[in-house]
Amino acid sequence: MIYNGPAQFRTACRLGQFDGPTGGQAPGFEQANIVVLPDAYADSFHRYCLLNPQPCPILHIAELGDPTLAALGADIDIRHDLPRYRIFTNGEASKDVTDIGDIWRDDLVTFALGCSLSFEAALVAGGVRLRHIEEGKTCAAYRTDSVTQDVDPFFAPLTVTMRVVPDDQVDLATSISQKFPLSHGGPVHVGNPADIGIISLNNNIDGLGLNNIQAGETAMFWACGVTAIEAAVSAGADLTISHAPAHMLITDRRAHKPT
């Protein structure tokens, strides 16, 4: 089912009626990567994001212990409003869950970071053919051999999302996505995946998304918020919470682009 409004979508998540990937949901509204860390790590992680703005564009940082994100939606409660979360304990993934109310703590700080799913509706409206949407899939994500700027104790390789577009629409897709700087902006690479260290398209993160290129198509790669998750996990905090890959928070904000 496709939910056209973010509030309707979040209600479905709270009621356990939706726990799938968010690509194509509430088109035109900003989707957000979520990282939740103990306060002791928050300042350093904030600096990490500021030094790596393309993979980690900051939409909002919540107050200490506050699960609400009023700046992104009046009724948002980060404990219940994602379709699926991933829990990390001491830097290791422990489980995926659909609610984190039972593990929420007063020392946690929530970071909401931009997501390239936010501009997909604009790509389609602008005439770009996105085959992964036509096939009912999400875009695939890959780790690259590029590195981000470290801030102790945070480090991570650059992760990217891949979308394949018709060869004659590369410039159009670039032009449209560049108008969304809070959703990772324009592509970081266009063309051969091996040039950025992606040796096999079968090695997509969590096995999600379209992972093949057909004749007449070009692979385009955008910075991805999974970068921020892997950096957060690298610190080895006793508790780190993120969205599960491709299972984002959908906010009430229209996808941002300059006027």
3-state secondary structure string, 27-87? CCEEEEEEEEEEHHHHHHHHHHHHHCCCCCCEEEECCCCCCECCCCCCCCECCCCCCCEEE
Walk along the chain (259 residues) in steps of 10 and give the mean pLDDT of each run. 92 95 91 98 98 97 97 96 97 96 98 95 95 93 97 97 98 97 96 97 92 97 97 98 95 74
Q: Residue 4 has what pLDDT? A: 87
Query: What Å distances lie between residue 134 and 9, 124, 140, CA to CA?
Result: 21, 11, 14
Domains belonging to the chain, first-starting first, are 6-116+235-254 (3.40.1640.10), 129-227 (3.30.2040.10)
Q: For 194-247, what is each residue's pLDDT tens digit?
A: 999 999 999 999 888 999 999 999 999 999 999 999 999 999 999 999 999 889
Q: What is the pLDDT of residue 256?
A: 65
- Contact status, residue 53 vs residue 188, Cβ threshold 8 Å: no
The predicted-structure confidence for 100-118, as pLDDT tens digits, reads as follows 999 999 999 999 999 999 9
Q: pLDDT at position 259, please?
A: 39
How many residues are there in the chain? 259
Residue 2, pLDDT score? 87
Element (DSSP H or E) covering residue 250: strand 249-254
Predicted structure pTM score: 0.93
Instruction: Name the residue among 173, 164, 179, 256 with its Cα closest to residue 218.
Output: 164
SS3 125: helix
pLDDT for 257 equals: 52
